[in-house]
Amino acid sequence: MSAKVLVADQLSEDGVKLLQSEPGLQVDIKSGLSSQQLAEIIAPYEGLIVRSATKVPAEVIQRADHLKVIGRAGVGLDNVDAEAATKRGIIVMNVPAGNTISTAEHTVSMILALARRIPQAYASLRSGKWERSKFVGTELFGKTLGIIGLGKIGTEVAKRAQSFGMRVIAFDPFLSTERAQQLEIQLTDLKQVYAEADIITVHTPLTAETRHMIGAKEMASMKPGVRLVNCARGGIIDEEALRAAILSGKVAGAAIDVFEQEPPPKDHALFSLDQVIATPHLGASTEEAQLNVAIEVARQVADALLGRGIRNAVNMPSLDQQTLKVLQPYIILGEKLGSLASQLAGISVAEVRVTYVGEVTAHDTSAVTLAVLKGVLEPMVGESVNYVNASLIAAERGVRVIEAKSSRMEEFANLLALEVSNDGTRLSIQGTLSARREPRIVKIDRYLVEAVPTGFMLIIKNQDKPGLIGQLGTLLGESQINIAGMTNGRDEPGGRAITVVNIDQPVPSNVLEKVKKLQHVLDAKLIRL
């Protein structure tokens, strides 16, 4: 019996033909479906292909009784609930490199159009006017471009900007100094980017950390007359704050391809401003990009359904079933360790060292190491990191990866030890499996703990003094934040200690600041796993 595949968005004809040419597949094309309509018809399908328009929330996945694979024709996965799919054993895959050049070129096109006011001049000309003096632009040569996020797209934008004679500075906590030097880019912090850049372009994923990362406070610290560009994800730049900054004269102009709400309302606040140019999410809209992603996602879905292998899966590695059964708990543990280390370290990671102890050493641990890398990279790079490209992204960013197996005795029979470092700063985290083969954190630096790495965690560095736990519990309780579990580790009575708190919801930034100000608290961080 043929596997049924639903193509729920407009896909390049070549991609559809590739699917239809497979004798083991039955292909249906139904675009323009709402989430509710998709949920009503998804049950018989084993494969689903979408672009950005179709939403695949948990409600759809819960009714996907036979679904085995979801293919996203593009990079972003914010329209697919990958976590819900993972829980149901559904493979989620994307095409991480298919539209890199397209988006980079669109970004540069927007920068040029913004600097020379090309759309405004054309609109004036079409209205019958000849206003040469009104549309005096600015040259890119000699200007400073600030790039936030130097992944594939950000790097390609930098190369093109350099060809115009621009000085390029960038912020990316995961890019090594050595790699930045190779690219002839000055790696710096956000404060310097805001202070020195004439044009700022963002190329980060949309996460809880990056939503509204450029707001009123950040714009106030920018160079007067700065121009902002967003061809990444709507919501990274606070649109209301951007409007206010343009009206005040602080921001000279903006080029926007993506919006917090898509499609945006016709009376969107930015559309009335002559200093703004905008396009309807066209970053990946070139014939070449659409063809590339369509063919690649079609091949990936067909191969997965017909047993020919899995590529670019974001939620599972490529392993045979028997090996996967043994290694799956370690893969989950490894990704949790990596994400925890990345968020907790707060440094640009130059080296990742993974050491295996116990039963796992009898197997090929490369999939586990990839899971660790995915965890380390994903907090900043975002959903484009998967088990296939994690090592490549690490190499591109100059991150050294060291894998070792040890037979030496530890406190635990089976252990994953992770160390991340850069310029002499190191953080080590150790994890193991419980009797039910569930992940546990057992050591953070020199502190022994017993923590479940899941959901939201509050990790506090403190002095081992009486009263802290009571103060912390009171503060979280008053803030309606429920504590799910707590563990403490210390080096000696009265000395330095670490407190790990599992909580049921995130701690708002104002509450986190109050935690940091509690007596005996040295530092506190909110972790999302």
Sequence spans of domains, the chain: 3-97+288-312, 100-278, 317-445, 454-529
Q: Is the pLDDT of residue 383 over 60?
A: no
Q: What is the pTM of this model?
A: 0.69
Proportion of the chain above pLDDT 70, given as a percent: 96
Domain 454-529 fold = Alpha-Beta Plaits (3.30.70)
What is the rounded CA–CA span in Å between residue 315 and residue 371?
Answer: 10
Proportion of the chain above pLDDT 90, given as a percent: 71
Q: Is the pLDDT of residue 241 over 60?
A: yes
Query: For residue 49, how many other CB atoms are within 10 A of its CB?
Result: 27
Q: Sorting pLDDT into bands at 50, 70 and 90, what band is 320? A: low
- Of 139, 184, 262, 359, the catalytic one is 262
Q: Sorting pLDDT into bands at 50, 70 and 90, what band is 373? A: very high
Q: Is the pLDDT of residue 315 over 90?
A: no
Model pLDDT, residue 321: 56
Longest Cα separation, the chain: 83
Question: Could you tell me if 101 and 268 are in contact, meaning their C-beta atoms sit under 8 angstroms apart?
Answer: no
Model pLDDT, residue 174: 77
Model pLDDT, residue 359: 83
Residue pLDDT, tens place only, 397-424 = 888 999 998 876 567 778 999 999 987 7
Q: CB-based contacts of 194: which residues, under 8 Å, 6+ apart?
A: 146, 200, 218, 221, 222, 223
Give every strand in the sheet of 439-444, ordered side by side. 400-406, 351-357, 415-422, 425-433, 439-444, 447-451
- Of 106, 179, 227, 281, the catalytic one is 281
What is the rounded CA–CA span in Å between residue 32 and residue 9?
Answer: 7
By the 10 Å C-beta count (0-12 exposed, 13-18 middle, 19+ buried), 493 is classed as: exposed
100-278 to CATH, choices 3.90.1300.10, 3.40.630.30, 3.90.1640.10, 3.40.50.720: 3.40.50.720
- Of 51, 106, 160, 233, the catalytic one is 233
**CATH no. of 3-97+288-312:** 3.40.50.720
Among 348, 355, 354, CA closest to 380 = 348
Residue pLDDT, tens place only, 167-190 = 999 999 878 888 889 999 999 999
Q: Is the pLDDT of residue 36 over 90?
A: yes
Question: Could you tell me if 49 and 8 are in contact, meaning their C-beta atoms sit under 8 angstroms apart?
Answer: yes
Residue pLDDT, tens place only, 38-60 = 999 999 999 999 998 899 999 99
Confirm whether 100-278 and 317-445 share one CATH topology: no
Q: Sorting pLDDT into bands at 50, 70 and 90, what band is 380? A: low
Model pLDDT, residue 318: 59
Residue pLDDT, tens place only, 212-234 = 999 999 999 999 999 999 999 99
What is the rounded CA–CA span in Å between residue 246 and residue 260?
Answer: 18
Q: Is the pLDDT of residue 108 over 80?
A: yes
Q: Is the pLDDT of residue 196 over 90?
A: yes
For the question of residue 281 being annotated catalytic, the response is: yes
Residue pLDDT, tens place only, 444-496 = 999 999 999 999 999 999 999 999 999 999 999 999 999 999 999 998 898 99
Handedness of CA 172, 177, 178, 183 (dihedral sign): positive
In the chain, the amino acid numbered 24 is G
Pair of tokens at residue 258: 């993506």
Q: Is the pLDDT of residue 112 over 60?
A: yes
Q: Sorting pLDDT into bands at 50, 70 and 90, what band is 130? A: very high
Model pLDDT, residue 319: 60
Q: Which residues pair with 187 in a beta bridge?
A: 170
**If you average pLDDT over every residue of the chain, what do you get?**
91
**CATH no. of 317-445:** 3.30.1330.90
H-type alpha helices, 306-458? 321-345, 366-381, 390-396
Radius of gyration of the chain (CA): 25
